[in-house]
A and B are shown apart, each in its own frame.
Chain A
Amino acid sequence: MLPATTTSEAETRALGERLAASLAPGAVVALHGDLGAGKTQLAKGVAAGLGVDPATVSSPTFTLIHEYAGALPVYHMDGYRTKRPEEFLALGVEEYLYGDGVCLIEWPQRLGNLLPPDTVHLELTHAGGDTRHIRLRGANGGP
Chain B
Amino acid sequence: MNPSPRILGIETSCDDTASAVVEGATLRSSVVSSQDLHAAYGGVVPELASRDHQRLIVPVVQQALQEAGLERDALDAVAATYGPGLAGSLLVGLSFAKALALGLGVPFIGVNHLEGHIYSAHIAPPRPPFPYLCLVVSGGHTQLIRVEDGFAHTVMGRTRDDAAGEAFDKIARLLRLGYPGGPAIDQAATDGDPAFRAFPRASLEGYDFSFSGLKTSVLYYLQDHEDDAREALLADHTADLAAAVQQAIVDPLIDALRRAIAETGIRDVAIVGGVSANRQLRAEARALCAAADARLYIPDPAYCTDNAAMIAVTAFHKWQAGLTSPLSLTAEPALTL
Contact = CB atoms under 8 A, between A and B. Distances in A.
A binds B: yes
B107 interface: no
B48 A40 contact: no
Contacts, number: 88
A65 B166 contact: no
A89 B50 CA distance: 12
Contacts of A62: 14, 138-140, 163, 165-166, 169
Interface string A80-107: 0000101100111001000000000000
B98 interface: no
Contacts of B140: 61-63
Interface in B280-295: none
Interface in B143-202: 158-163, 165-166, 169-170, 173-174
A35 B170 contact: yes
B1 interface: no
Contact of A63 (B14, B50, B336): B14
Interface string B111-138: 0000000000000000000000000001
Contacts of B213: 9
B216 interface: yes
A129 interface: yes
B336 to A, nearest CB: 8
Contacts of B166: 59, 61-62
A90 B57 CA distance: 14
Contact of B88 (A44, A92, A130): A92
A61 B212 contact: no
A11 interface: no
Contacts of A59: 161-163, 166, 212
A55 B50 CA distance: 32
B33 interface: no
Given A40-B161, A58-B160, A63 B85 contact: yes
Contacts of B174: 35
In this complex, the interface size class of chain A, counting residues with CB under 8 Å from chain B, is 20 to 34
A92 B173 contact: no
A59 B162 CA distance: 5
B215 interface: yes
B215 A36 contact: yes
A58 B160 CA distance: 6
Contacts of B159: 58
A78 B310 CA distance: 26
A40 to B, nearest CB: 6
A34 B87 CA distance: 28
Contacts of B208: 55
A91 to B, nearest CB: 5
Interface in B20-77: 48, 50-53
B89 interface: yes
A58 B158 contact: yes
Nearest to B165: A62
B334 A40 contact: no
A69 B215 contact: no
A41 interface: yes
B333 interface: yes
Nearest to B174: A35
A95 B161 contact: no
A58 B48 contact: no
Nearest to A74: B334
A40 B52 CA distance: 27
Contacts of A36: 212, 215-216, 219
B86 interface: yes
- Most A CB contacts (10 A, CB to CB) among B86, B87, B161, B162 go to B86
Interface string A46-72: 000000000110110111111111000
Closest 9 CB pairs of A and B: A92-B88, A62-B139, A62-B140, A63-B140, A36-B216, A67-B333, A90-B51, A67-B334, A36-B219
6 contacts: A55-B208, A56-B336, A59-B166, A63-B141, A91-B86, A126-B219
Interface of B: 14-15, 48, 50-53, 84-89, 138-141, 158-163, 165-166, 169-170, 173-174, 208, 212-213, 215-216, 219-220, 223, 333-334, 336
Interface of A: 9, 35-36, 40-41, 44, 55-56, 58-59, 61-69, 84, 86-87, 90-92, 95, 126, 129-130
Given A36-B219, A62-B163, A64-B14, 19 more contacts: A9-B212, A35-B215, A35-B219, A44-B161, A59-B163, A61-B139, A61-B140, A61-B163, A61-B166, A62-B138, A63-B141, A65-B87, A86-B48, A91-B88, A91-B89, A92-B86, A92-B88, A95-B87, A95-B88
